[in-house]
Amino acid sequence: MKRYGPVFRTNLVGRPVVVSTDPDLNYFIFQQEGNLFQSWYPDTFTEIFGRQNVGSLHGFMYKYLKNMVLNLFGPESLKKMIPEVEQTTSKRLKLWSHQEGVELKEATASMIFDLTAKKLISYDQENSSENLRENFVAFIQGLISFPLDIPGTAYHKCLQGRKRAMRMLKDLLQQRRENPRKHRSDFFDYVIEELQKEGTVLTEAIALDLMFVLLFASFETTSLALTLAVKFLSDHPLVLTKLREEHEAIVKNREHADSGLTWKEYKSMTFTFQVINETVRLANIVPGIFRKTLRTIQFKGYTIPAGWAVMVCPPAVHLNPEKYEDPLAFNPWRWAGQELNGATKSFMAFGGGMRFCVGTEFTKVQMAVFFHCLVTKYRFEPIKGGNILRTPGLQFPNGYHIKLMEKDERHNST
């Protein structure tokens, strides 16, 4: 950016790519999805996530799959899901509190994966002969690696992890087809109904690729955000105090203190949403979002030829001192009075345009419920790690371990 400005050309995997750090161009790209731009990712990503993955589909097919996912992650479904998220979170926190220490990224990833896998495919690790998440761990470790598919390389292990996970998903789908349920209980049931409809556009390959992407995206991104959030709360006691006050007020205002979280209580968590926004702004979990031009584009004096790839760079916006005062500082109060219902020119942590992440609200529900259970029932302290690793635009605590202790109600301190 210092050398070439906010928009510049480079090469990625042998093809020209325009990198955009300009908020106006980024917003324009998202708003012109399907008209001047379409989703695009390098061939290696397509190979890893599947040729029929939702990120590679366009037009009607993409909208069709998006509506399918909204049946699972839409507001009406999430209202019913909150008790289950709270129960799962409480159970895990109780388990962690009896351990000497917890490696938070691994622990939260396991918790979220089990919850999501149950909602998607009724998968229960305790009653399964194979460990589905182990295959995703192998997949993640080679996700960004040199694409050399020979035994021993990270890329090969990544493809093998995907192959094993896809085989398990296919076997589960086949079992479900052979033994259909009377009542829909998970996303697989909905997929099977769609596959059986006459004239359906859904194929088994598309359905399995969709399931794979949903499992990956849900647990890997949210666990990173939660880990970074706890790191920030540890380092900023004033934020932690304010967060605790909000959640303890929720409990205090209930008719029965032990009754579970409600949708109304969740929507009332004003400061909690500020903490979530600030966490994902700094985390920049997705450092690059790719599109391809459908025809030659003229914008602010720049010419982007037809067929070129464009990489939108959210970190350059989220960490821009012209947009955010002291951008590297964790300051949830900067979001006071702002209500975000989608992407803006200065905030695109969940993408933008028609491809705005359909799981955004699900992520916020999981983070809010986790905070609620954590700050109302436990104390915690870092015992190892916690250094922020900074790759271009991406931040996360390396090997961040905490000690979790049940709160002593006589001392309301951390």
34: left (phi over 0), alpha (psi -120 to 50) or beta: left
pLDDT of residue 265: 95
Q: What is the pLDDT of residue 76?
A: 85
* Cα 30 from Cα 376, distance rounded (Å): 39
Angle at 28 between CA 22 and CA 33, to 5 degrees: 130
> What is the pLDDT at residue 246?
97
Does 408 reside within a domain?
no
Number of domains in the chain: 1
Q: What is the pLDDT of residue 56?
A: 58
Measured between alpha carbons, how far is residue 224 from residues 22, 55, 229, 390 in Å?
A: 26, 21, 9, 14
Residue 414 is assigned to a structural domain of this protein? no
pLDDT at 392: 45
From the annotation, which residues make up the binding site?
357
Residue 64 lies inside a defined structural domain of this protein:
yes
Q: What is the pLDDT of residue 411?
A: 45
Q: How far apart are CA 57 and CA 163, in angstroms?
A: 21
**Phi and psi of 344, rounded to 5°?**
-125, 180
Residue 173 included in any domain: yes
Domain harbouring 213, CATH code? 1.10.630.10
Q: Do residues 295 and 36 lie in contact, with contact meaning Cβ atoms separated by under 8 Å?
A: yes
Structure tokens given for 346: 């200065």
Binding residues for heme: 357
- Cα–Cα distance for residue pair 177/69, rounded to 1 Å: 20
List, for the chain, all residue ranges whose pLDDT scores fall below the cut of 70. Answer: 13, 50-60, 125-130, 141, 143-145, 341-343, 353-356, 386-398, 408-414
Q: How far apart are CA 167 and CA 179, in angstroms?
A: 18
Residue 336 belongs to a domain:
yes
Does 411 map to a domain?
no
Residue 81's domain comprises 7-393
**Pairwise CA distance, residues 254 & 259, whole Å:** 8
Nearest to 235 by CA among 278, 200, 199, 292: 278
* In a domain? residue 182: yes
33 within a domain of the structure (yes/no): yes
Task: Give the model confidence (pLDDT) of 166-201 as tens digits.
Answer: 888 888 888 888 887 777 778 888 888 888 888 888
